[in-house]
A and B are shown apart, each in its own frame.
Chain A
Amino acid sequence: MRETLAFDFERTFDQCATLLGDLTFPTVAAWKQEHPGGRVIGYFPVYAPSEIIHAAGMLPVALHGAGDGLELQHADARFGSFICSIVKSTLELAMTERLALMDGLLFSTICDSARNLAFVIKRNQPGMYVDFLHLPHNPNGTASHDFLASEYRRLIGHLQELSGRTISDEALRNSIAVFNENRNLLRRLYEFRRDYPERLRTWELYVLMRAGNFVPVETHNEWLRGVLEELPGRTGKRRDAIRVVIEGSFCEQPPLDLIRVMEEAGCTIADDDFILGRRWFNADVPVAGDPLMNLAESYQDRSVYSSVRHDNRNPRHKQLVEKVRQAKAQAVVFLTAKFCEPACFDYVLFKRELEAAKIPHLPLEFEEKAYTFDRFRMEVETFVESLLFE
């Protein structure tokens, strides 16, 4: 696998982009070949405790739908109208044996459609370990720390059964450290992109980050370190553009070409919520002490805000405005997946808060399978011009 994805800075981004579109999961297949008996656990967005999977000696794989690469033959009939694309494409991946590389699938409490999907897949994939994690929604007090630690213990029980090996606290601490490093590297890349967007385009950052879904975290860390080393030497010209924050793409992902179109149409993306699960914590998960409690407490107290996690201590509409200020952005573009109920609901309070703060915004709706972007380009260009020449 190292040969197939040997690090070469200038080719990295294109290699990553190619990897994302390959529904045969070549890097996962390669990992299985290199690790006879090795187990792979796929997880549906937004967040899963990858550290636990990693500590079990398994490969965590973040699934993000099928883009425009899959024609639905089975999933439409099972999920019908008014259901988002990623739910259907994930079921289609399963029912067309494309997830056969996975030894288990994890889902969590993000929305009603995804929850039902977990159990529909369970029925249609007999023999596969399919589980559902209840990630808590009450951040007040310590009850949810204890609960989530117990939920993680339940997961560990199943993973131990699957792998036949015990997961030690030491292994968990090591995994926490290596994922902390991954998140740190990504944070540094996000800061670099925020400060020097002409030297690191968002589509490049995006494919680099998302490729980490399919490779061991240690490999991903190498790539990220390599890119960070090379970036200061890169050049690029600043353009007339507006700085925007993207909100709403935390689960189903917009087509890569849509991100490119937004940049071409005059947006400098200063911050975003793409693949949010890879950057779930805004500070390191403590390594010393009880690892499961550290992960549980971090979920409650060190997570980024998200439409799929309730936290009335610091409402997400306030945090979006704060994010815009931190990013020195002029506007917000909502890239909301069609039928994404959490994002659609949150838009109401986001909109109200942005209007009160006099921050302009543009709501756009996409589907992962979209492949023509003329309308998007026109809407974005019109929005950009209205801000550049107002």
Chain B
Amino acid sequence: MSNTEKSDYRGQIHQLQKEMMVEWYQKLDESATTGKPPAVSLMISGNCIELLEAFDVLPLYPEVNALQLAIRRQSLEPILVAEEMGYATDNCAYVKADIGAMVKGITPAGGKLPVAALALCNFVGCNVYTKWFEHIAEFQKSPLFMLDVPFLRTDTPSKDDVAYVVRQLHDLVKQLEQITGKKFDMDRFREAVRNSARVEELWSRIKHLSKKKPSPYDAYFDAISLMGPLYVYRANPRGVHFFEVALKEYEQMVERGQGPFEKEKFRVVLEGPPPYPFFRTFRDMFAKWGACTVASTYSTVGGLWEFGFRHDPQEPFEAIALHMIENNVTNRNYLQRYDQIRRYVEEWDADGLIIHFVKSCRLFSAGQGDMRDYFTKELGIPTLYLESDIEDPRYFSEAQIKNRMDAFFESLGHAPARTAAQLSAGKAGSGIPMVPTASPKLRVLN
């Protein structure tokens, strides 16, 4: 096995997404200077970009700022600034990096970022967001709209859950009218929702392409590159164009039998956010073993579309409500996440599961030991548990993570007959199912 395999990880779409994201940052810079168009800060999970698009409002995602700072290795300075302000070492470092950067005027792309005309906390599962947006509103003197999304504590949302969110969305429309001075245009809104539905269909088809062997892309590392356009441009024709290009590129790779590696030796499912300050280092640890992620929960933070949900232009407000309540991983309950991962392992035919515990995000991480218990003991799926952080470079132990990864893939390569057979064939996928066909059903709420 090569110890040096590193892919370029670049294709046409990576370049295209980079251009689109640079352009977005330029628009934010322009907004910061001229006030036009106004920017609204909101959270990625269950984002209602369709409503912003209908008003020509720019989305400003504090999470994207934070991850950009981390991936460019600029996150420690603003984190320390925030800790000076009183934030605890145990607080989410995404928040600390964003607030510290805001206070110090640090921006990931070097340009200016606008003051949010509205801090829209589309509280979707993550309680930390209520604090984050309270603080953004306080420090920036922005008005705050707390959009309370009922957590998915039952199998499916109730009518009352949906009605509650829809009523709040109508209140939000009034606030957006005030900010922009524009009258709400239902036709434009429907058009935005229609664009989203098209993007979601394309994105979902891409998600299912990773069932192919080899997978044409990595459904964790490459999917993250695609997530930028998915959240910023989803409701816009440019988003549709981007995902058409992406799907075509990956379909062509499938036709040619190409994947991220010369040989796909392992197929894994990845749970949890990445260690952004060491993104490339982490990716290389997978590349070393020819391990391709075929599905990931992190790529469903903004929306869970591979199981069929699409925004419905006929009922656009209800569609947004359903997206927020039911169709993103963060607002789904923990056992529903177990079930999502189980489906990935089974339907995407993975060899194992890697759980990445990140200190910052208790929404993802609190209870992941129980998750490991479920997958190893109840389902018999090889599972690796790693710990670091999404944002804070002080919590990444490269040698330790590498050792654990090496040991995991080493044992995965030797132990089960299926994997050994696949390895000898140089490809994953033709052997005995590792997952019991009749998996124990998860207990869900009454």
Check if B72 is an interface residue, CB within 8 A of chain A.
no
Cβ contact within 8 Å between B335 and A78: no
Contact of A79 among B144, B153, B171, B369 (CB under 8 A): B369
Whether A341 contacts B90 in the complex (CB less than 8 A), given A116-B362, A138-B148, comes out as yes
Say yes or no for A132: interface residue by CB 8 A criterion: yes
Kindly supply a per-residue 1/0 record for chain A positions 139-159, scoring 1 wherever the CB is within 8 Å of any chain B CB and 0 otherwise.
111011011001100100010
Contact with B along A298-309 (1 / 0, CB 8 A): 000000000010
Q: Tell me the interface secondary structure of chain A in the complex.
A: helix
Q: Is B407 an interface residue (CB 8 A)?
A: no
Residues of A within 8 A of B123 (CB): 137, 310
**Given the complex, which residues of B lie within 8 Å of A143, measured CB to CB?**
164, 167-168, 171
Q: Is A242 an interface residue (CB 8 A)?
A: no
Q: Which residue of A lies closest to B374 (CB)?
A: A123
**Cα distance, A8 to B145, chains bound together (Å):** 52
CB–CB B158/A150 < 8 A: yes
Does A216 make an interface contact (CB < 8 A)?
no
Which residue from chain B places its CB closest to the CB of A110 in the assembled complex? B127
CB pair A126 B373 closer than 8 Å: no
Which of these binds chain A: B41-49, B128-136, B238-246, B278-286? Answer: B128-136
Residue contact B367 to A79, C-beta cutoff 8 Å: yes
* Stretch from A80-88, A228-236, A274-282, A380-388 that touches the partner: A80-88
- Mask, B158-186, CB within 8 Å of A = 1, is 10110110011001000000000000000
Q: Assess whether A389 is interfacial by the CB under 8 Å rule.
A: no
Asked if A345 and B135 sit within 8 Å, CB to CB, the answer is: yes
Interface flags, A17-48, vs B, CB<8A=1, else 0: 00000000000000000000000000000000
Q: Is the CB of A111 within 8 A of B362?
A: yes
Q: Chain B contacts of A117 at CB under 8 A?
A: 366-367
For A352, what are the chain B residues with a Cβ–Cβ distance below 8 Å?
86
**Is A312 a contact of B137 with CB atoms below 8 Å?**
yes
Give the residue of A83, A126, A154, A345 whose beta carbon is less than 8 angstroms from that of B128. A345
A134 touches B158 (CB 8 A): no
**A126-B443 contact given A78-B373, A134-B153, A345-B131, CB 8 Å threshold:** yes
Interface residues on A, range: 35 or more
Q: Does the CB pair A132–B333 fall under 8 Å?
A: yes
Do A112 and B126 touch across chains, with their CB atoms under 8 A apart?
yes
Could you tell me if A112 and B127 are in contact, using CB atoms closer than 8 angstroms?
A: yes
User: Which residues of chain B come closer than 8 Å to A147, judged between CB atoms?
Assistant: 148, 150, 160-161, 163-164
Asked if A369 is an interface residue, CB under 8 A from chain B, the answer is no
Task: Give the CA-CA distance A28 to B150 in the complex, in Å.
Answer: 32
Taking a contact as CB atoms under 8 Å apart, the answer to whether A137 and B148 are in contact is yes
Q: Does A122 contact B (CB under 8 A)?
A: yes
Q: Check: A120 CB closer than 8 A to any chain B CB.
A: yes
Q: Which residues of A contact B131 (CB under 8 A)?
A: 341-342, 345-346
Residues of B within 8 A of A345 (CB): 87, 91, 95, 128, 131, 135
5 A-B contact pairs sorted by A residue (CB < 8 Å): A115-B334, A131-B153, A147-B161, A346-B131, A348-B85
Q: Residues of B with Cβ closer than 8 Å to A?
A: 85-88, 90-92, 95, 123, 125-128, 130-131, 134-135, 137-138, 144, 146-148, 150-151, 153-154, 158, 160-161, 163-164, 167-168, 171, 333-335, 338, 357, 359, 361-363, 365-370, 373-374, 387, 442-443, 445-446
**6 nearest interchain CB pairs?**
A119-B334, A150-B160, A138-B148, A345-B131, A344-B88, A147-B164
